[in-house]
């Protein structure tokens, strides 16, 4: 084209060059497009027939310009000064003028319009066309950058609260060179390393932290949870091994045993001189632990118990510390006295001698490789008539008298067992706190990567950080907000647990069960999202998400399967309702519940259900009302439904089964309300203004994202109309966009030691 004398003869023809270039460079030229162009040419009265023919000859789909020729078109255009030229017509006009030299040229007014119409029909965005020819293309997306609108140190202090000093101490320990991550050639090597780490931790007194002074402890349960949480920035096998030893094994002796056990064992447990296990789960009974089959038969003559595994399904399974290191175990077994079954009780049973030899009658198999947590030596234990002395019964809640009689202040075997389990609820606080730490690490890695990694950009412009993409924000900002939300909720749970009265025991158990499920499901989902958000880099083990995801994966299962726990929470909520209304009978209560939901809870103000005003959508009160409304309605509808089924003659077991899906939602709505309530409280109590603003935004994002997640339910109920749910979606997008600015700073505030993050993709570019 450029070599033709047509252009020399009539430089006005250059006006077509930018359009031609765009057409051929953009995509394949279709017949329709060629026709559109032909019409444009046809209309131009200033063109000679020969010129028209020549122009049209360059529009045959089957005869594209040679690659080199196309490049030369572009080179010609690039020589122009493009500043101030807004579309292909203007660029073409300038080009024609340039080639006409001093001769002033002009075009009819209508040509501009003809050009614009043609471009529109060809789908060309003319005003952006100049970026095909120049470098540098600034857009909102390319210019958007990280900021830090608050004081990171103050935010860290807010998160750490009164535990800051201990957190610092733990971080210092796990940042030491001896805690550097390493690769392992074998399972054995990994387990030894994890044991060594735990030994080191116990040397710093962390293992005994919750125990009494005489056992080397600080009598500080709150500190114990802080330690679990902070250690969880590091290797999670180490955390779980630590938890098995000091939490499960240690606390079972502490809470289920009495003075003699405390004096005998706690010190050695805390120093890890006496590694032990918590042997509850059996192959046949994981969730339904009430059905455990291991027996502890009392022999009054010798004052001993005989621990026995009556069948393969009754072997103890997945027992941490069992495969290699455990020397003793708290074993849960059905106590049999004179042929009478007194339900499940707990006993200290030796497994190995101090030099690691197996005790006769104990057989242990290795559980082998797992999806994660391979530094924990899980094992399967069989007992073949293992005899232990009478004092090995952990006898806080039940004992055998000198006369060989069973004694307990709790009449019912089931209730006694669940009371015992209730004292161990701490595990359901430690695990979610560990999960949140792991999630914070994952988010820190993914958000740093999102800042560092650039990919795609506008034509001619620079590539942009992937965190500037709206979808990427959608993937990572709501979890970031939720991590903060759950952090504060777990702090609240911990405090409630520490201050608990007996009357609150059930409520706290339900809260712990619910938050454990909520936080661990959140961890699983978020770490999965982080893996994907880091692309192929996220798949490499060196970038840590592999370990974080796989090690925490079982958190949704152990310490109670999440789905089972959510049923428990729901049942507790139903019971609470019954209790609150004291002596009414069930139907009165149900009726009362229903009327509650229909009146005071509802208040479906017709203006509110349609309101899309930003200040309303961001309003804390609106959020909390919406959460409460959902919690109460869903609870009362579940109650109604169960009542209806049972009244219609359905067996209660079936009725609860039919309502299972509903009940999980009851639990979910309850937990969500608690989480929001505590988050709002935290925002209101925050003194530093910049921090307050930052977490207020997170709180709004958490609230609206949760409402969005449940929007089908709200729409179904008529609590909001379509316009409002759409406005909420838009507001969530906007909040993600806003929070993205602070995202890096918000992860910095977690204060995770760099040596613990360790991922090469998360190295901070300063």
Q: Which stretch binds a copy of itself (CB under 8 A): 292-300, 427-435, 457-465, 597-605?
A: 457-465
Cβ 649 to a copy of itself shortest distance, Å:
9
Alpha carbon 120 to its chain's center:
45
Q: Which stretch binds a copy of itself (CB under 8 A): 254-262, 406-414, 595-603, 627-635?
A: 406-414
Query: Cβ(114)–Cβ(43) under 8 Å?
Result: yes
Q: Which residues inside 379-398 make contact with a copy of itself, applying CB under 8 A?
A: 398
In the complex with a copy of itself, which residue's Cβ is closer, 80 or 646? Answer: 646
Among 10, 26, 134, 423, binds a copy of itself (CB under 8 A): 26
In the complex with a copy of itself, which residue's Cβ is closer, 352 or 475? Answer: 475
- Residue 442's SS3 state is helix
Q: Is residue 578 at the binding interface for a copy of itself, with CB under 8 A as the rule?
A: yes
Triad 215, 316, 564: Cα angle to 5°: 95
The CA-to-CA distance between both ends of the chain, in Å, stands at: 50
Cβ 120 to a copy of itself shortest distance, Å:
5
Q: Which stretch binds a copy of itself (CB under 8 A): 11-19, 486-494, 624-632, 651-659?
A: 651-659
CB count in 10 Å sphere of residue 60: 11
**Residue that the structure tokens 């602070």 belong to:** 742
- What 95-100 contacts at long range (C-beta under 8 Å, 24+ apart), as own/partner pairs, is 95/14, 95/15, 95/17, 95/18, 96/11, 96/12, 96/13, 96/14, 96/15, 98/14, 99/7, 99/11, 99/14, 100/11, 100/12
In the complex with a copy of itself, which residue's Cβ is closer, 620 or 713? Answer: 713
Q: List 393's β-bridge partners, or say none.
A: 347
C-alpha to C-alpha distance for 273 and 270, rounded to whole angstroms: 8
C-alpha to C-alpha distance for 207 and 362, rounded to whole angstroms: 27
Among 168, 455, 595, 614, binds a copy of itself (CB under 8 A): 455
Q: Which residues inside 687-746 make contact with a copy of itself, applying CB under 8 A?
A: 711-712, 715-718, 722, 725-726, 733
Q: Which stretch binds a copy of itself (CB under 8 A): 24-32, 96-104, 153-161, 618-626?
A: 24-32
Q: Is residue 216 at the binding interface for a copy of itself, with CB under 8 A as the rule?
A: no
In the complex with a copy of itself, which residue's Cβ is closer, 546 or 738? Answer: 546
Q: Which stretch binds a copy of itself (CB under 8 A): 198-206, 413-421, 616-624, 748-756?
A: 413-421
3-state secondary structure 194-254: HHHHHHHHHHCCCCCCCCCHHHCCCCCHHHHHHHHHHHCCCCHHHHHHHHHHHHHHHHHHH
Q: Which stretch binds a copy of itself (CB under 8 A): 137-145, 225-233, 493-501, 678-686?
A: 137-145
Q: Which residues inside 278-307 make contact with a copy of itself, applying CB under 8 A?
A: 281, 285-288, 291
C-alpha to C-alpha distance for 73 and 7, rounded to whole angstroms: 12
Q: Which stretch binds a copy of itself (CB under 8 A): 89-97, 238-246, 369-377, 492-500?
A: 369-377
The residues, ordered by sequence, that sit 6+ positions from 722 with a Cβ below 8 Å of its Cβ are: 715
C-alpha to C-alpha distance for 451 and 454, rounded to whole angstroms: 8
Q: Is residue 652 at the binding interface for a copy of itself, with CB under 8 A as the rule?
A: yes
By rule CB under 8 A, what string of x and - marks binding of each residue 503-542 to a copy of itself?
A: ---------------------x---x--xx--xx-xxxxx
Q: Which stretch binds a copy of itself (CB under 8 A): 84-92, 197-205, 226-234, 646-654?
A: 646-654
Q: Is residue 35 at the binding interface for a copy of itself, with CB under 8 A as the rule?
A: yes
**DSSP letters of 384-416?**
SSEEEEGGGB--SS-EE-TTS-EE-S---HHHH
Count CA atoms closer than 13 A to 492's CA, side-chain side: 18
Q: List 400's β-bridge partners, or say none.
A: 406
By rule CB under 8 A, what string of x and - marks binding of each residue 190-209 to a copy of itself?
A: --------------------
C-alpha to C-alpha distance for 489 and 519, rounded to whole angstroms: 10
Q: Which stretch binds a copy of itself (CB under 8 A): 66-74, 189-197, 209-217, 749-757?
A: 66-74
Cβ 19 to a copy of itself shortest distance, Å:
15
Tokens for 379? 């094992």
Indicate if the alpha-carbon torsion angle 421, 424, 428, 431 is positive or negative.
Answer: negative
Query: Cβ(64)–Cβ(29) under 8 Å?
Result: yes
CB count in 10 Å sphere of residue 591: 13
Q: Is residue 653 at the binding interface for a copy of itself, with CB under 8 A as the rule?
A: yes
Tokens for 557? 């299962």
Q: Which residues inside 600-619 make contact with a copy of itself, applying CB under 8 A?
A: none
Cβ 561 to a copy of itself shortest distance, Å:
6
In the complex with a copy of itself, which residue's Cβ is closer, 21 or 249? Answer: 21
Cβ 283 to a copy of itself shortest distance, Å:
9
Round the CA-based radius of gyration of the chain to a whole number and report it.
Answer: 35
Among 8, 32, 110, 172, binds a copy of itself (CB under 8 A): 32
Q: List 295's β-bridge partners, or say none.
A: 308, 334
Q: Which residues inside 92-131 make contact with a copy of itself, applying CB under 8 A?
A: 117, 120-121, 123, 125, 128
In the complex with a copy of itself, which residue's Cβ is closer, 524 or 700? Answer: 524
Q: Is residue 456 at the binding interface for a copy of itself, with CB under 8 A as the rule?
A: yes
């Amino acid at each position: 084209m450029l070599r033709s004398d047509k252009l020399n003869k009539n430089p006005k023809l250059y006006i077509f060059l930018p359009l031609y270039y765009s057409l051929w460079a953009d995509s394949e030229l279709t017949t329709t497009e060629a026709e559109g162009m032909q019409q444009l040419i046809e209309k131009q009265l200033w063109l000679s027939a020969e010129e028209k023919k020549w122009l049209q000859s360059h529009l045959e789909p089957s005869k594209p310009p040679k690659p080199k020729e196309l490049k030369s078109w572009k080179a010609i255009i690039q020589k122009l000064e493009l500043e101030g030229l807004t579309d292909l017509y203007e660029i073409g006009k300038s080009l024609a003028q340039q080639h006409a030299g001093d001769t002033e040229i002009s075009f009819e007014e209508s040509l501009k319009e003809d050009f614009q119409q043609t471009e529109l029909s060809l789908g060309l965005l003319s005003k952006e066309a100049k970026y095909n020819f120049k470098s540098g293309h600034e857009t909102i997306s390319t210019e958007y950058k990280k900021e830090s609108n608050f004081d990171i140190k103050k935010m860290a202090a807010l998160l750490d609260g009164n535990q800051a000093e201990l957190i610092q101490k733990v971080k210092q320990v796990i940042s030491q060179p001896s805690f550097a991550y390493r690769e392992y050639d074998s399972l054995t090597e990994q387990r030894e390393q994890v044991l060594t780490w735990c030994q080191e931790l116990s040397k710093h007194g962390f293992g005994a932290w919750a125990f009494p002074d005489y056992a080397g402890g600080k009598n500080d349960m709150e500190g114990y949870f802080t330690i679990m949480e902070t250690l969880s920035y590091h290797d999670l096998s180490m955390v779980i091994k630590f938890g098995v030893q000091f939490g499960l094994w240690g606390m079972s002796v502490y809470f289920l045993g009495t003075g003699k056990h405390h004096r005998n064992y706690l010190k050695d447990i805390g120093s890890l001189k006496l590694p032990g296990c918590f042997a509850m789960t059996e192959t046949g009974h994981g969730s339904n632990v009430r059905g455990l089959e291991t027996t502890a038969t009392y022999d009054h003559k010798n004052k001993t118990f005989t621990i026995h595994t009556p069948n393969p399904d009754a072997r103890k399974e997945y027992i941490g510390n069992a495969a290699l290191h455990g020397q003793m175990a708290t074993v849960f077994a059905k106590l049999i006295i004179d042929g009478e079954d007194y339900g499940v009780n707990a006993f200290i049973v030796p497994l190995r001698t101090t030099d690691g030899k197996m005790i006769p009658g104990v057989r242990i198999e290795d559980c082998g490789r797992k999806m994660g947590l391979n530094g924990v030596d899980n094992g399967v234990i069989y007992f073949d008539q293992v005899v232990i002395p009478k004092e090995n019964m952990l006898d806080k809640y039940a004992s055998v008298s000198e006369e060989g009689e069973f004694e307990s202040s709790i009449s019912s075997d089931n209730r006694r067992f669940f009371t015992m389990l209730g004292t161990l609820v701490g595990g359901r606080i430690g695990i979610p706190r560990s999960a949140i730490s792991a999630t914070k690490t994952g988010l820190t890695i993914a958000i740093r990567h999102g800042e560092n990694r650039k990919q795609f950009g506008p034509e001619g412009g620079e590539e942009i950080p992937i965190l500037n993409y709206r979808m990427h924000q959608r993937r990572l900002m709501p979890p970031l907000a939720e991590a903060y939300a759950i952090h504060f909720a777990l702090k609240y749970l911990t405090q409630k647990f520490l201050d608990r009265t007996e009357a609150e025991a059930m409520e706290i158990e339900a809260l712990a069960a619910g938050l454990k499920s909520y936080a661990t499901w959140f961890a699983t989902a978020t770490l999965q999202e982080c893996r994907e958000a880091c692309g192929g880099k996220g798949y490499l083990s060196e970038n840590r998400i592999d370990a974080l995801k796989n090690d925490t994966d079982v958190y949704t299962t152990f310490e109670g399967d999440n789905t089972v726990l959510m049923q428990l929470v729901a049942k507790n909520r139903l019971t609470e309702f019954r209790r609150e209304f004291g002596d009414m009978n069930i139907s009165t209560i149900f009726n009362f519940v229903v009327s509650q939901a229909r009146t005071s809870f509802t208040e479906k103000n017709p203006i509110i259900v349609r309101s899309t005003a930003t200040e309303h959508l961001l309003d804390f009160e609106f959020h909390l009302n919406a959460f409460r409304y959902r919690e109460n309605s869903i609870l009362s509808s579940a109650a109604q439904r169960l009542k209806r089924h049972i009244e219609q003659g359905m067996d209660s077991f079936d009725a609860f089964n039919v309502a299972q899906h509903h009940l999980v939602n009851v639990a979910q709505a309850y937990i969500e309300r608690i989480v929001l309530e505590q988050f709002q409280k935290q925002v209101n109590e925050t003194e530093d203004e910049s921090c307050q603003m930052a977490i207020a935004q997170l709180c709004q994002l958490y609230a609206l994202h949760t409402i969005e997640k449940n929007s089908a339910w709200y729409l179904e109920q008529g609590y909001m109309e379509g316009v409002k749910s759409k406005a909420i979606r838009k507001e969530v997008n906007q909040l993600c966009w806003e929070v993205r600015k602070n995202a890096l700073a918000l992860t910095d505030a977690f204060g995770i030691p760099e040596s613990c993050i360790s991922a090469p993709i998360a190295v901070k570019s300063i």
